[in-house]
């Protein structure tokens, strides 16, 4: 059976700054679904083990779906565990020359991005940014001649830009030594991110130009600055890069055409402006940052109790999953204001539906809101307020009547562990 390999283009403005979101998908190629041999080209966690009892909860990727939430991640994406070398190049243009040292642009994203991944992965991803070219790499054409706009396809503009980038950088760079590529564009090329977000990732793209014998298959481009004027850019502006790199690891966009209303600030693949936030537990399992032993699979009929510890802390049980079939299910986890989760204002049990048959940007994940229409518990800028108080507290129950599912939060102990009860037919 063949599995899709995807290339995604991301372009949007944050919900707090604009009312519309757009998503366009580039051409799709195919790749084998066979679990990859551990290598630089391996996708996901390098073949997470399939253990008895977890099969029904490891919902598979759906054929033809762009960046499916299913497991395992198809080959072609960058691996997400171990030492990952991120080639980082700073580029400018004749009509948009860099106005500051290239090292300053690099420092906007590092070491913050590496720290973010170390915290989120519990140390399982050793993210190494490397910039062998220390100065701006001047592209031969003006920025305007590449025709790069919001929603631009890979052909012809990005292909031309990548070819020119390779020709310019190749004397200084061995592209074959790296797992992924970050291109940090001089901020004065293109519009302000407040008007149009151009930052984009092309992932799993083996049709990309080759350099030193390898395709630039997983490449993220970052433009402008995600500066909302709140004075927080120095602390939060880097977060566009962990989002974009999430795509090179095979994760989809969780925001939709309507903005961040499906997931809110509960995953950086939904909202990457504003206060810091983490990945969902499902994504951490998919990426190989949680072991199967940390997952409770509630696939059998009847009632079962489960203990879950805070997602932000290493070790112990982290995720319960209630499969609804081969393509969807409910994930259950504990979120607290710790680790990367800066904006959590109502700690508790987060419940959300994961669907492997829904395309990136179309709502593959949806959060269950325990306090619907409350207006939320935060007023932080660029944080989707309504879902900020979504977690369930002890004594509260989520019910899916159509599927006969009940998820009740029974209690919380002094260590912050929650006991939940799952009932299913």
Q: What does the pLDDT look like over 211-264, one tens digit per residue?
A: 999 999 999 999 999 888 888 898 999 999 999 999 999 999 999 888 879 999
Q: Report domain extents, the chain.
A: 2-251, 282-424
From residue 160, alpha-carbon distances to 143, 146, 153, 325 in Å are 11, 7, 12, 44
User: What is the rounded CA–CA span in Å between residue 279 and residue 311?
Assistant: 9
User: Contact at 8 Å (CB) between 336 and 347?
Assistant: yes
Minimal CA–CA distance to 295: which of 253, 327, 323? 323
User: What is the rounded CA–CA span in Å between residue 364 and residue 264?
Assistant: 13
Work out the percent of the chain whose per-residue pLDDT is above 90. Answer: 79
Lowest mean pLDDT among 206-210, 216-220, 262-266, 387-391: 206-210
Confidence of residue 279 (pLDDT cuts 50, 70, 90): very high
Which pLDDT score, from 0 to 100, does residue 27 have? 28
Lowest mean pLDDT among 35-39, 63-67, 278-282: 35-39
Q: Is the model more confident about 44 or about 179?
A: 179
224 Cβ neighbours under 8 A, 6+ residues apart = 185, 187, 190, 191, 192, 193, 197, 198, 199
Average pLDDT, the chain: 89
User: What is the rounded CA–CA span in Å between residue 166 and residue 172?
Assistant: 10
What is the token pair recorded at 223?
Answer: 């433009």
Q: What does the pLDDT look like over 7-64, one tens digit per residue?
A: 343 444 443 333 322 222 332 222 222 222 333 444 565 545 555 568 899 999 999 9
Q: What does the pLDDT look like over 92-104, one tens digit per residue?
A: 999 999 999 999 9
User: What is the rounded CA–CA span in Å between residue 372 and residue 411?
Assistant: 22
| DSSP states of 50-70 | --TTTGGGSPPPPTT-TT-S-
Nearest 5°: CA angle at 24, between 89 and 97?
30
What is the token pair recorded at 408?
Answer: 């009740």
Which pLDDT score, from 0 to 100, does residue 50 have? 53
Beta strand 125-130 pairing with 82-92: parallel
Q: What does the pLDDT look like over 297-307, one tens digit per residue?
A: 999 999 999 99
Which pLDDT score, from 0 to 100, does residue 51 have? 54
Buried b (16+ CB within 10 A) or exposed e, 38-62: eeebbbbbbbbeeeeebebbbbbbb
Q: What does the pLDDT look like over 336-353, one tens digit per residue?
A: 999 999 999 999 999 999
Three-state SS at 388: helix
Question: Measured on CA atoms in the order 409, 413, 415, 421, is the torsion positive or negative?
Answer: negative
User: What is the rounded CA–CA span in Å between residue 240 and residue 414?
Assistant: 36
375 Cβ neighbours under 8 A, 6+ residues apart = 385, 386
Which pLDDT score, from 0 to 100, does residue 392 have? 99
User: Contact at 8 Å (CB) between 251 and 286?
Assistant: yes
What is the token pair recorded at 178?
Answer: 């790296």
Report the pLDDT averaged over residues 76-88.
98
Nearest 5°: CA angle at 160, between 154 and 166?
110
332 Cβ neighbours under 8 A, 6+ residues apart = 306, 308, 319, 320, 321, 322, 349, 350, 351, 407, 420, 422
Which pLDDT score, from 0 to 100, does residue 231 have? 85
From residue 332, alpha-carbon distances to 112, 322, 324, 406 in Å are 28, 8, 14, 12
Q: What does the pLDDT look like over 102-159, one tens digit per residue?
A: 999 999 999 999 999 999 999 999 999 999 999 999 999 999 999 999 878 899 999 9
Report the pLDDT averaged over residues 73-81.
95
Q: Is the model more confident about 382 or about 114?
A: 114
Which pLDDT score, from 0 to 100, does residue 247 have? 98
Beta strand 180-185 pairing with 219-222: parallel
Report the pLDDT averaged over residues 263-275.
95
What is the token pair recorded at 111?
Answer: 């070491």
Strands (E), 33-141: 82-92, 125-130, 137-138
Nearest 5°: CA angle at 28, between 26 and 29?
145
Which pLDDT score, from 0 to 100, does residue 199 have? 96
Question: Which residues, in sequence order, are bridge partners of residue 214?
Answer: 211
What is the token pair recorded at 221?
Answer: 């481009």
Which pLDDT score, from 0 to 100, does residue 37 have? 30
User: What are the backbone dihedrals phi and psi of residue 168, each rounded to the nearest 5 degrees, phi first?
Assistant: -75, -40
| pLDDT for 203 beyond 50 | yes
User: Contact at 8 Å (CB) between 267 and 278?
Assistant: yes
């Amino acid at each position: 059976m063949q599995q899709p390999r995807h290339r995604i283009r991301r372009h949007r403005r944050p919900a707090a700054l604009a009312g519309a979101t757009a998503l366009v998908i580039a051409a799709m190629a195919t790749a084998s679904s066979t679990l990859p041999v551990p290598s630089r080209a391996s996708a996901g966690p390098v073949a997470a083990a399939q253990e008895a009892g977890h099969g029904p909860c490891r919902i598979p990727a759906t054929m033809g779906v762009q960046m499916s939430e299913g497991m395992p991640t198809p080959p072609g994406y960058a691996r997400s565990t171990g030492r990952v070398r991120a080639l980082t190049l700073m580029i400018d243009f004749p009509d948009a020359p860099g106005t500051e040292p290239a090292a300053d642009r690099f420092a906007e994203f590092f070491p913050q991005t590496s720290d973010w991944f170390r915290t989120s992965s519990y140390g399982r991803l050793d993210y190494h940014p490397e910039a062998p070219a220390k100065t701006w790499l001047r592209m031969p054409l003006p920025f305007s001649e590449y025709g790069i706009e919001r929603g631009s396809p890979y052909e012809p503009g990005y292909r031309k830009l990548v070819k020119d980038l390779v020709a310019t950088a190749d004397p200084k760079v061995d592209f074959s030594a790296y797992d992924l590529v970050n291109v940090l564009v001089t901020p004065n090329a293109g519009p302000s991110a407040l008007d149009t977000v151009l930052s984009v990732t092309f992932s799993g793209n083996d049709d990309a130009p080759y350099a030193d014998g390898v395709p630039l298959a997983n490449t993220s481009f970052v433009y402008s600055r995600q500066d909302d004027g709140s004075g927080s850019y120095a602390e939060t502006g880097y977060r566009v890069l962990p989002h974009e790199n999430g795509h090179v690891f095979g994760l989809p966009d969780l925001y939709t055409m309507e903005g961040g209303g499906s997931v809110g600030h509960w995953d950086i693949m939904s909202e990457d402006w504003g206060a810091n936030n983490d990945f969902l537990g499902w994504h951490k399992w998919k990426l190989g940052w949680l072991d199967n032993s940390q997952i409770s699979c509630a696939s059998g009929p009847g009632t079962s109790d489960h203990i879950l510890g805070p997602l932000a802390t290493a070790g112990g049980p982290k995720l319960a999953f209630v499969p609804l079939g081969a393509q969807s299910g409910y994930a259950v986890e504990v979120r607290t204001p710790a680790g990367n989760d800066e904006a959590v204002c109502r700690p508790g049990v987060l419940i959300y539906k994961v669907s492997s048959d829904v395309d990136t940007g179309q709502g593959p994940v949806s959060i269950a809101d325990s306090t619907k229409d409350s207006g939320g518990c935060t007023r932080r800028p660029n944080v989707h307020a309504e879902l900020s108080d979504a977690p369930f507290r002890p004594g509260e129950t989520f019910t899916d009547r159509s599927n006969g599912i009940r998820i009740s939060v029974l209690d919380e102990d002094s260590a912050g562990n929650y006991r939940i009860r799952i009932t299913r037919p």
